[in-house]
Amino acid sequence: LLLQARIELEEKYGMVLFKGFPVEDQLPKDLHLLHAGLCSHVATLRPQTVFGEMIQDIRDCGQGVLKERRGSKHNRALSFHNDPSDAISFFCIHPSKSGGMSLFSSSVAIHNAIVQSAPEHAVTLYQDFVHTYQDYLFVRTGTNQGFIPREKFYFMPVFTAEQGRFACKYSRFYIDQAQELPGVPRLTQQQIAALDALEAEINNEKWQMKLQYEAGDIMFINNFVCFHARTAFIDDTADEKRRRHLLRVWLSMPNSRPLSPVWKRQVFFQQTEAGSIRGGVPIPEIIYS
């Protein structure tokens, strides 16, 4: 089944859902081991922090009020995006009291719709946009201090293709946020129109699948061909064990597609060959004196 999941992820639908894994009364370390072990039979786990952490707990830690917040640490809605790895896996330990609906959309279907309805926007989306890095990559006090990308932003298209294989890199949040940085060229009206057209298609429900995770669900998603999002949620404040809690793993697929060399412009993808180990947060060298 896991080998079949690998094929489904890269060569077919880009999504695989397993249900019914035991979570009740399990120790947190055992749930982490279960998720990591299962994922390791599908692909190679990739770091999600500069400390090399391979699994992230997705739950509300109160960061919603902060400008510099990581999406995994608050309960606000998250717009459609993809993560910096070949694939991603979520393991639902407990759903929220209300809300927290997961949304998925095919970037391939959306690409094809834009090519047909507004080819001029498709051409623009194959050209460079400025993206900023996530705040947690920069030096600061807190869990991820110690890493600085070469630049705070990078140039690359939203849509790319290499050897006939499509790949998408998109988060409107980080494109808009890049506009606040000094030295970044302003978005042109043509670029804004193309992004707005993309957003309109992404938020068109005919392209979307909605899923309320249940305890014991494990979902795999190919980041190059699928967007994911989340609605805001409310937790059970009386019982911490009944709050929304997911585990997240970033994966490098052994049967991954080749990527355009432009993907090397960001620190996450320094290898673009098919099947190469790539994605995730680079771990800085530590020098001891």
- Kindly report, residue by residue over 42-95, the tens digit of the pLDDT: 999 999 987 889 999 988 655 444 455 455 666 888 999 999 999 999 999 998
Residue 48 inside a domain? The answer is yes
Q: Is the pLDDT of residue 108 over 90?
A: yes
pLDDT at 151: 80
Residue 287 inside a domain? The answer is no
Residue 140 inside a domain? The answer is yes
Give the relative orientation of helices 107-117 and 189-202 as an angle to the nearest 10 degrees. 130
Residue 113 inside a domain? The answer is yes
| CA–CA distances in Å: residue 218 to residues 132, 237, 271 | 30, 25, 27
Residue 52 inside a domain? The answer is yes
Whole-angstrom distance, CA of residue 162 vs CA of residue 258: 6
pLDDT band at 284 (very low <50, low <70, confident <90, very high): low
Residue 167 inside a domain? The answer is yes
Number of domains making up the chain = 1
Domain membership of residue 75 as a residue range: 2-265
Residue 285 inside a domain? The answer is no
Average pLDDT over residues 245-273: 96
Q: At 250, which helix (H) or strand (E)? A: strand 245-252
The alpha carbon of 104 is separated from its chain's Cα centroid by a whole number of angstroms, namely 12
pLDDT at 61: 56
Residue 175 inside a domain? The answer is yes
CATH number assigned to the domain comprising residue 121? 3.60.130.10
